[in-house]
């Protein structure tokens, strides 16, 4: 008999937790006809303001060509705008419109409530440690091949 126990296998535990919170949070996003990947774009631009498409792709973990199509869709909905960078006319900068900013302002507190639910019963030090460990875990995995469509992930 093998000593492997799926219930203690870290990738399974991470995925299980991510699925639970994502499915619940998606119910909130559907009220504004948003997807999780759209939310990630709104959240990053809410925090960091206007940024180039490449930097936005890196910050959201969405492949550039997928992100470009997503930004076009969000632009048609009036959530984001695209402008040429002043320093480099070849580069495009993406930013929130007033409508996109208003939606993000409404959803950010909900996102924080979901996070608070997820870490309930943990000390603030444990929550901070978990964040640091997850960032390290992600960085450790940078050498792995990219999945075919990384936009599907939380």
Percentage, residues of the chain above pLDDT 90? 82
Residue ranges of domains in the chain: 6-143
Q: Is the pLDDT of residue 154 over 50?
A: no
Class of domain 6-143: mainly alpha
Q: Is the pLDDT of residue 150 over 60?
A: no
Burial environment of residue 77 by CB neighbours within 10 A (0 to 12, 13 to 18, 19 or more): middle
pTM of the entire predicted model: 0.85
Give pLDDT tens digits for 49-72. Answer: 999 999 999 999 999 999 999 999
Question: What distance in Å separates the CA atoms of residue 147 and residue 111, rounded to the nearest whole number?
Answer: 26
Question: What distance in Å separates the CA atoms of residue 142 and residue 60, rounded to the nearest whole number?
Answer: 15
């Amino acid at each position: 008999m093998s000593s492997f126990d799926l219930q203690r296998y870290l990738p399974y535990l991470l995925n299980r937790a991510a699925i639970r919170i994502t499915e619940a949070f998606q119910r909130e996003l559907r009220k504004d006809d948003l997807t999780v990947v759209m939310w990630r774009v709104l959240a990053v631009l809410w925090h960091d303001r206007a940024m180039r498409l490449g930097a936005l792709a890196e910050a959201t973990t969405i492949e550039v060509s997928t992100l470009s199509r997503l930004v076009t869709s969000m632009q048609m909905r009036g959530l984001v705008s695209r402008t040429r960078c002043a320093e480099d006319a070849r580069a495009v900068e993406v930013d929130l419109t007033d409508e996109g900013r208003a939606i993000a302002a409404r959803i950010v507190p909900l996102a924080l409530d979901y996070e608070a639910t997820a870490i309930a019963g943990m000390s603030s030090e444990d929550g901070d440690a978990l964040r640091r460990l997850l960032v390290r875990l992600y960085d450790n995995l940078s050498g792995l091949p990219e999945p075919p469509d990384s936009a599907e992930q939380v």
